[in-house]
Structure 1
Amino acid sequence: MTQTTTALVTGANKGIGYAVAAGLAARGLAVVLGSRDRDRGERAAARLRAELAGKPEVRAVVLDVTDPATIAAAAASLDRLDVLVNNAGVSGPVGLTPAVTPPEVLREVFETNVVGVLMVTNAMLPLLRRSPAARIVNVSSGVGSLRHHTDPAHYLAALPASATYPPSKTALNSLTVQYAKELRADGILVNAAAPGACATDFTKDLPFAITRTAADGAAVIVRLATLGPDGPTGGFHDDEGPVPW
């Protein structure tokens, strides 16, 4: 790796993660694409290098956010890290209400969406603490907003109840606030982003059409990943600004 500002994006071989990697690379950052599958990660990195005519530096690393061994290996492969985007996530089964959700299903979703973020972030903190302007962005969702779910005027209040994906994103938002509190003294800005529902593999099974692109969703993440020194920390943001907790 060079001494160029470096970003690691988890779950970056496709969808919003890939669009975030592309957005950061277009701004001149060296980008490391984290992917559970080595071949898919390498193909994504090659595609991005081709799109950007080989500049800046783009490479892939095997990274399963639920596997401590791959997390440790990914951290050891980096010389520096300035930006961490915790994008990898799972939705869990669609249509399960809390009353019929097996506990193992809940554990699986939280293992990726919350515990995985903690494990990756903690493994990368020694590198981030050496950066002059480190940024951490946790990719959350508007469905993590308790205010939205309890506001009769908001469309989320009318959606079926779920014990998995929405609670995992609410927990991720809380974890984001706690990291922001801890890392404020280190000058590390930590925020959660709500990219909105985008037309990706992640949303392909939803029963309604989505026209928002992965690049549209990535924009707020890229913005938070490249904040200046006076930027916010401990916040939850979408395209329009702060999202209510």
Structure 2
Amino acid sequence: MSSDSTIWFINGASRGIGFAVMEKLLATNPSVFVYAGARDPAKALALQQMALKYPGKIEIVKYIAGDIDGNKDIAKVIQEKHGRVDVVLGAAGCGSYLGPAADTPPEVVRTHFETNAIGNLVLFQAMLSLLKASKNPKFIPLSSIGGSLTFTISLPLEVTAYAMRGFTFENEWIVCFPLSPGAVETDMFASNREMDKTGVLENVQDSISPEKCATLLVKIVDECTREKDGGEFVDIDGSKISW
């Protein structure tokens, strides 16, 4: 593997946005190598087919959000094979409940927080030395506009359970920001549309395919800089979302 290769780690890579980004990278960038994280690699048939289509360009690894030892094991695999990681894309997320604060079960919040917040913290810690070994390290967890502290005041969508700037300000050597892919036609979006009682998601007319999202996302990652994007909350169109 050439030292000029770009090494990616993508979790949630077995479907949805994570899979689409991986597919886009492999189809357009001959010098990319992807570590694809999946909760159950043995059942990730689409990933296995992708590995056959692009031999020597993908390694499928078992990823569970918040699993400290499991994340460290992934880092060891990457260390032994490449010694660094250039881009970490956190595409694995949980969005299994919609409801107001008065009705949201605490256990639902715990599950979402474990996956969406603690999961990214554990991943960052596991990948830290590998990111430091990169000449242009980028750590980009996917979020959603539901994670904004201010935007949802005017948005009547009940996202109590879904609600990291510290990574950026504590580490001057890295480009780090949460990225909102917007309304993407994934299984999670379809499920949330069914659960939504406010009508907000039902009326969304500008949702995009995972493939379109992947094209926009890869462009943002390729062009992002610490000066322009570090510590911001970035939308898939490149604009900034209010924290």
Using structure 1 for the length normalisation, give the TM-score: 0.83
The residue that corresponds to 2:166 in the other structure is 178
Cα separation, partners in 2 of 1:199 and 1:228, compared to 1, 3 Å: closer
Determine the C-alpha separation between the residues in 2 that align with 1:219 and 1:235: 21
SS in structure 2 opposite 1:242? Answer: coil
What does residue range 38-49 of structure 1 map to in structure 2 within 5 Å?
38-41=41-44, 43-49=45-51
Q: Which amino acid aligns with 1:223?
A: K
Structure 1 residue runs of 5 or longer lacking an equivalent are: 152-156, 168-174
Q: Which amino acid aligns with 1:127?
A: L
Question: Which residue, 125, 129, 133 being the options, matches 1:126?
Answer: 129
Whether 1:71 aligns to 2:75 is no
Deviations 1:83-105 (A, max 9, x none): 101111111323x3211222221
Tell whether the 8 Å contact from 1:135 to 1:226 is kept in structure 2 after alignment: no
1:228 CA drift (Å): 5.7
The residue that corresponds to 1:154 in the other structure is none
Deviations 1:191-228 (A, max 9, x none): 11110111111112214376410122233432343236
What does residue range 163-174 of structure 1 map to in structure 2 within 5 Å?
163-165=160-162, 167=163
Whether 1:109 aligns to 2:106 is no
Q: Which amino acid aligns with 2:153?
A: T
Determine the C-alpha separation between the residues in 2 that align with 1:57 and 1:133: 20
The residue that corresponds to 2:7 in the other structure is 6
SS in structure 2 opposite 1:77? Answer: helix
Segment drifting more, 74-83 vs 221-230: 221-230
Whether 1:54 aligns to 2:54 is yes
1:158 CA drift (Å): 2.6
Cα separation, partners in 2 of 1:109 and 1:20, compared to 1, 3 Å: same
Determine the C-alpha separation between the residues in 1 that align with 2:11 and 2:138: 14
Determine the C-alpha separation between the residues in 2 that align with 1:228 and 1:242: 13
Cα separation, partners in 2 of 1:236 and 1:219, compared to 1, 3 Å: farther
1:48 CA drift (Å): 2.7
Whether 1:241 aligns to 2:239 is yes
What does residue range 212-231 of structure 1 map to in structure 2 within 5 Å?
212-227=208-223, 231=228
Q: Which amino acid aligns with 1:201?
A: D
Deviations 1:132-178 (A, max 9, x none): 11111110101222332223xxxxx233x33202x1xxxxxxx1x11
SS in structure 2 opposite 1:31? Answer: strand
Segment drifting more, 138-147 vs 124-133: 138-147
Question: Which residue, 177, 181, 194 being the options, matches 1:191?
Answer: 177
Determine the C-alpha separation between the residues in 2 that align with 1:237 and 1:196: 10
SS in structure 2 opposite 1:23? Answer: helix
Percent of residue pairs bearing the same amino acid type: 28
What does residue range 29-44 of structure 1 map to in structure 2 within 5 Å?
29-41=32-44, 43-44=45-46
1:240 CA drift (Å): 4.3
Cα separation, partners in 2 of 1:17 and 1:123, compared to 1, 3 Å: same
The residue that corresponds to 2:197 in the other structure is none
Q: Which amino acid aligns with 1:67?
A: D
Matched residue pairs, number?
224
Structure 2 residue runs of 5 or longer lacking an equivalent are: 195-201
SS in structure 2 opposite 1:241? Answer: coil
The residue that corresponds to 2:198 in the other structure is none
